Structure 1
Amino acid sequence: MKIAYLINVGLSVSPYNGIRIQAETWADELERQGHEVVRINPWKTIVWEEFDVVHCIGADRATDVLLMSLSKRCKNIMFSPVIDSIEPIGMYRFATLWGSKRFRLYSVNYAIRLSKPYISKWFVRSQYEFEYVNKAYNVPAESISIIPLSFRTPICEKYPEKEPFCLHVSMLTDGRKNVLRLLEAAVKYQFKLVLAGSVRSNEEFAPLKCIIEANDNITYLGSVSDERLIALYKRAKVFALPSINEGVGMVAVEAASYGCDIVVTEIGGPKEYYSDMAYVVNPYNVDEIGKAVMNAMSESRFQPRLQKYIQDNYNLETCVGKMVNEYMRNR
């Protein structure tokens, strides 16, 4: 097959954007499996009729216009909306209805609703996201496929030796990641916490930095290479992802594939990836986070079963294979 990959421009700003990284990983694996993938550059002239599939990832307020134009040249348009909302579905549905083409009143949600006639198949990453597409946009269930995200790291052949610390990796100053409460839990329960990742500004990082510097059980490593990240996954007993808003949280899935026990938020879709083999917490409750990390640190309830489950179900070949099947079915 010849497949066009078209990502929303907002996802192209940072090379570290998780959705962009996953799209690039998909494209690489599709090529490894023998398909031709064109990463669309808007500055080049594109003959859209040559493609078997156009896969559009992400949306903006002009998505309906884009997909309407594409539909005249390619009849097989797949769409990954990337919905990470924590709004109740009823309120989210209202946002999809609010708008007016006549008066040019647009929201991203409204533009996605207007795009429905041009989309052959909707790809979502979890049952949680499925519910938003199905109920908020009134997309029939048969038009939606759950294509889970895959871990992008090499397979870990055996269960590694673990050290008693909790790892967290993210854009640490992103409030969605809930790092402040994780730090407060580490201070209160005195577990060893290792943080890695970038920060947007020193000003935003200052409140977190004060806590880190005042407590010997907390270490901040800064941004780390993929090689060092894998080494951390192998060593850490626990990986914590207590986010207040998260689509999937692929770093936690990767950590689980290297034998980490997972403490994960109860909000949204991330917990679906662990088949009841994770410690699920209310991310607004510091005590729940702290107690879960301590329990995960002292118990061996889920690993190495979880490692095998993740490797069997969320490896790149399997996940991309499911997507290829949907491409083929809708040709």
Structure 2
Amino acid sequence: MRVLFQVRPDFLKNPAGDSVQIVSTGQELKKLGVEVHLSTDPNIELTPYDLIHIFNITRVKESYMYFYNAQKQKKKVIISPIYWPPNDYLKREGVSSNALAAWNHMQPMRERLVGGADLLLPNSQLEMEVLRRDFPKAAPYQVVANGFPDSFIGATPDQFREQFPNLPQEFVLCAARISPRKNQHWLAEICQGLHLPLLLLGPVNDPQYYKRVTAFANVHHLGTLQGPLLASAYAAAKVHALPSWFETPGLSSIEAGACGSVVISTDQGSPKEYFQDMALYVHPLDDNSLRRALEQSFDAYPVPLMKHIQQWFTWAKAAEKTLQAYRTIIENNPEE
């Protein structure tokens, strides 16, 4: 089976959750015998491929061109939407009034993709419900949950402590690109009020926002960590907090929980479908919710969530479900 992945051209230069989902899913599918190729060319010749898998309809212009090319060449299309409407985020104070209008202007494009795909692979049932609400004529779907690398299981703090020996023994961790959507400024402010060290991991998505976040004396930014060192950082953290404006459900929350960290998550998006009552939740418009969650986190017990994530949310399981979806489309819809 030959499958072509198509995604925004800057998915590696400007990494985000979709980048991790694409790379991790592709690696695991290859282990299952799938020949996975990747292209950002909107006019690529598609004859060699059994189907086209497009990721991310938030950045919809490129995805629409990929979709149009696939339809023109009569190829089967699967879409991982990675969709959540950003209305509240775009209405927040200080945002350009054009931002929400620009999002709404692109909704007809998203509607075409959501309705015209052969199959949708949302990351949660909640995401699918939102897709159906916004696009009533949505295509059939199969939920494929996000995951974490199974190599993270059993991670210990040792490697992280050895590499960064001068950091506080107890700290709050947030591993995410540093951007207003991830809400690190709010987290830094509340942590400072509670006298809690905050450690940030991840690329700088917005330099001006980064300056505001790191102006707090309690904040340390170590850049981007990967692989065993990242897993060790999660294991070293007492709590991982991702108080974003929305998540689907937040890959670093999954990873941190799998490594034994207490998880504080936004309640906006699909996190509750993944973490149920085993995480602490905050609302981006409620300062008290984050303060309360941070206070509770140091007495929270992370093991139930760790076991739950390790059982259900590996990338290997995500790839198995994705392959099942591919087979369904190919077997039920043979080429003319």
Query: TM over 0.5: same fold?
Result: yes
Query: SS at the partner of 1:325?
Result: helix
Which of 182, 189, 192 aligns to 1:184? It is: 189
Write out aligned runs for 1:1-331 (5 A). 1-9=1-9, 11-12=10-11, 14-42=13-41, 46=45, 48-59=46-57, 60-61=60-61, 63-64=63-64, 66-87=66-87, 107-116=105-114, 118-140=116-138, 143-152=140-149, 154-157=151-154, 164-172=170-178, 174-200=179-205, 203-212=208-217, 215=218, 218-300=219-301, 303-331=302-330
Amino acid of the structure 2 residue aligned with 1:2 = R
Structure 2: gaps (5+ residues)? 89-100, 162-168, 331-336
Query: SS at the partner of 2:170?
Result: strand
| Compared CA separation, residues 43 and 178, structure 1 to 2 (3 A) | closer
Contact persistence 1:189–1:291 (CA under 8 A): no
Contact persistence 2:84–2:130 (CA under 8 A): no
Query: SS at the partner of 1:79?
Result: strand
| Compared CA separation, residues 326 and 165, structure 1 to 2 (3 A) | same
Contact persistence 1:51–1:74 (CA under 8 A): no
User: Aligned-residue CA RMSD in angstroms?
Assistant: 2.8
Q: Tell me how many residue pairs correspond in the alignment.
A: 306
Q: Deviations over 1:241-276 (max 9, x none)?
A: 111132321011100000011011111112321122
TM-score (norm 2): 0.81
Contact persistence 2:156–2:236 (CA under 8 A): no
- In 2: Cα distance, 1:252 partner to 1:146 partner: 19
TM-score (norm 1): 0.82
Amino acid of the structure 2 residue aligned with 1:6 = Q
Query: SS at the partner of 2:317?
Result: helix
Contact persistence 2:3–2:50 (CA under 8 A): yes
- In 1: Cα distance, 2:11 partner to 2:174 partner: 25
| Compared CA separation, residues 62 and 25, structure 1 to 2 (3 A) | closer
| Compared CA separation, residues 79 and 191, structure 1 to 2 (3 A) | same
**183-192 or 219-228, larger mean C-alpha shift:** 219-228
Q: Deviations over 1:91-128 (max 9, x none)?
A: xxxxxxx99xxxxxx94321122235641101111223
- In 2: Cα distance, 1:278 partner to 1:182 partner: 17
- In 1: Cα distance, 2:62 partner to 2:205 partner: 28
Q: Deviations over 1:12-62 (max 9, x none)?
A: 36252321221121111111111111112529953x233222111124236
- In 2: Cα distance, 1:4 partner to 1:202 partner: 34
| Compared CA separation, residues 182 and 119, structure 1 to 2 (3 A) | same
| Compared CA separation, residues 159 and 277, structure 1 to 2 (3 A) | farther
